[in-house]
């Protein structure tokens, strides 16, 4: 592939061994056990670990307090039969799928919400139109749980994470607000997570073109992920770029052909005219701007600058040979930057960044405190918004917690992008 993906120091070391990063070390290949020596003691009491501990405890305490004061948590609403008001996203998808089977307009249905997704998604979900709305929703929720858990386990297995960390990640996932919101509303983030995780695993195994195709399919389903296609551009990986663009374009056109040419134009009209919502769980920068009383275009401009800076930094490091592994945290950092730039990025999108956190854990003890924080903060439920009524002077700041969390994910994943990763290529993989 031409990209530097590892170093001789890290290659082939057991999971309990790390290279000594000290610049004063006289032995470049010196390795020490993680649990031995004064360096380990220093790590245990380092300021970063103390700060991480405080933040994790704060997130857990806040979560417990909010669940105690607001017992009607999202997950308790999952058994509800109210499709129109509670399972509203899937209700929208289901009505569009039914309209497609009847030859009607998939964007003008009896659903409460407007379908903001491209025609491809409706075509993909057409089999659910064979069921009633409630049975279809329950089946989709079950499939979402299976897809999310399978994706996390696949990434953890690929990284050869310790069983303890894998168990922690799964427990946090099951308890997290993004998963609960995804299930209750019937959103498609499980499907997107599978596509992104499969693409990342293919990249890690030395199959960049296959990875690009999978990324392109994810973009065709959710165009707000389109910045991910720019990573091979700035890294000058032309074959991967062509494959990604071709896959995204082909899948998008296929959806338009199935739903009818007018569906593509209608979706574009909706995408351009849909206003930026001022809701606590819109973590995008345009949403932050609206909460602060600014035009949404200010947030969009800030997002474009952030995204451009992210891609430029990754591209410069790649061209200078400094090393940015496309099978490390780089793609997840670009996904986070794209979500910050989009008009709408619900807090539930954090599910898509969980594999990036697992990569941080695999990087070793240096990154595990911050990984623990990134695992903990999604536990905070959306009832957080009830603490900040409109008349409260600090309401715009308090209601921007989820934007701050997404910014934190982006900053950490980008900072970790130059870290070398230990790959385990499959037999016959191309490098």
* Dihedral sign computed on CA atoms, order 288, 292, 297, 302: negative
Q: What are phi and psi of 370, to 5 degrees?
A: -70, -30
Kindly report the number of other CB atoms within 10 A of residue 228's CB atom.
24
At which residue do the structure tokens 């009491």 appear?
45
- Within a 13 Å sphere around the CA of 365, how many CA atoms are in the beta-carbon half? 21
What's 426's DSSP letter?
P
Report residue 388 as tokens. 């900040």
Q: Enumerate the domain spans of the chain.
A: 45-415
- Residues 91 and 76 sit within 8 Å (Cβ to Cβ): no
pTM of the model: 0.86
| pLDDT confidence of residue 390 | 81
| pLDDT confidence of residue 423 | 59
| pLDDT confidence of residue 7 | 35
3-state SS assignment for residue 275: coil
Q: What does R_g of the chain's alpha carbons equal in angstroms?
A: 22
Contacts with 391 (C-beta within 8 Å, 6 or more apart), sequence order? none
The full DSSP string for 2-30 is: -S----TTTTT--TTEEE---TT-S-TT-
| pLDDT confidence of residue 27 | 34
| pLDDT confidence of residue 45 | 60
* Dihedral sign computed on CA atoms, order 114, 117, 118, 120: negative
| pLDDT confidence of residue 2 | 42
| pLDDT confidence of residue 392 | 82
Q: Which of 358, 427, 417 is nearest to 159 (CA)?
A: 358
Q: Which of 392, 314, 327, 402 is nearest to 359 (CA)?
A: 327
- Rounded Cα distance, 395 and 291, in Å: 9
Q: What are phi and psi of 313, to 5 degrees?
A: -65, -45
| pLDDT confidence of residue 422 | 63
Report residue 419 as tokens. 């870290």
Contacts with 380 (C-beta within 8 Å, 6 or more apart), sequence order? 59, 62, 63, 66, 177, 401
Report residue 106 as tokens. 């998939």
Tens of pLDDT along the chain (431 residues)? 444 343 333 333 333 333 333 333 333 333 334 444 444 444 456 888 999 999 999 999 999 999 999 888 888 899 999 999 999 999 999 999 999 999 999 999 999 999 999 999 999 999 999 999 999 999 999 999 999 999 999 999 999 999 999 999 999 999 999 999 999 999 999 999 999 999 999 999 999 999 999 999 999 999 999 999 999 999 999 999 999 999 999 999 999 999 999 999 999 999 888 889 888 889 999 999 999 999 999 999 999 999 999 999 999 988 887 678 899 999 999 999 999 999 999 999 999 999 999 999 999 889 999 999 999 999 999 999 889 888 888 899 999 999 999 999 999 999 999 887 665 544 444 43
């Amino acid at each position: 592939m031409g990209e530097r993906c590892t170093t001789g120091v890290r290659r082939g070391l057991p999971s309990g061994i790390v290279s000594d990063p000290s610049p004063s070390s006289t032995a470049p290949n010196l390795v020490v056990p993680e649990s031995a020596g004064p360096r380990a003691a220093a790590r245990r009491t380092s300021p970063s670990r103390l700060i991480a501990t405080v933040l994790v405890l704060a997130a857990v305490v806040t979560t417990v307090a909010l669940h105690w004061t607001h017992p009607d948590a999202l997950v308790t609403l999952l058994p509800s039969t109210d499709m129109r008001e509670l399972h509203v996203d899937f209700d929208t998808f289901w009505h569009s799928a039914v309209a497609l089977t009847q030859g009607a307009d998939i964007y003008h249905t009896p659903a409460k919400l407007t379908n903001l997704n491209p025609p491809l998604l409706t075509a993909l979900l057409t089999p659910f139109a064979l069921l009633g709305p409630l049975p279809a929703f329950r089946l989709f929720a079950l499939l979402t749980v299976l897809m999310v858990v399978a994706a996390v386990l696949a990434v953890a297995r690929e990284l050869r994470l310790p069983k303890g960390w894998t168990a922690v990640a799964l427990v946090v996932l099951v308890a997290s607000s993004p998963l609960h919101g995804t299930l209750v509303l019937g959103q498609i983030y499980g499907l997107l997570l599978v596509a992104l995780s499969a693409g990342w695993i293919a990249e890690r195994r030395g199959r960049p073109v296959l990875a690009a195709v999978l990324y392109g399919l994810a973009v065709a389903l959710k165009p707000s992920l389109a910045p991910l296609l720019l990573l091979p551009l700035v890294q000058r990986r032309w074959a991967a770029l062509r494959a990604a663009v071709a896959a995204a374009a082909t899948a998008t056109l296929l959806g338009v052909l199935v739903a009818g040419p007018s569906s593509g134009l209608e979706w574009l009209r909706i995408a351009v005219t849909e206003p930026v919502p001022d809701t606590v769980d819109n973590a995008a920068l345009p949403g932050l701007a609206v909460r602060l009383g600014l035009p949404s275009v200010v947030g969009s401009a800030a997002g474009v600058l952030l995204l451009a800076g992210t891609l430029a930094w990754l591209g410069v490091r790649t061209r200078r040979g400094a090393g940015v592994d496309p099978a490390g945290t780089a793609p997840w950092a670009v996904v986070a930057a794209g979500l910050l730039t989009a008009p709408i990025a619900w807090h539930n999108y954090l599910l898509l960044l969980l594999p990036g956190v697992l990569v941080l854990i695999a990087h070793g003890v240096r990154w595990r405190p911050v990984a623990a924080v990134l695992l903990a903060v999604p536990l905070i439920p959306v009832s957080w918004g009830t603490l900040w009524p409109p008349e409260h002077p600090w309401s715009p700041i308090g209601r921007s917690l989820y934007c701050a969390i997404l910014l934190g994910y982006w900053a950490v994943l980008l900072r970790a992008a130059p870290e070398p990763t230990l790959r385990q290529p499959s037999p016959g993989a191309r490098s």
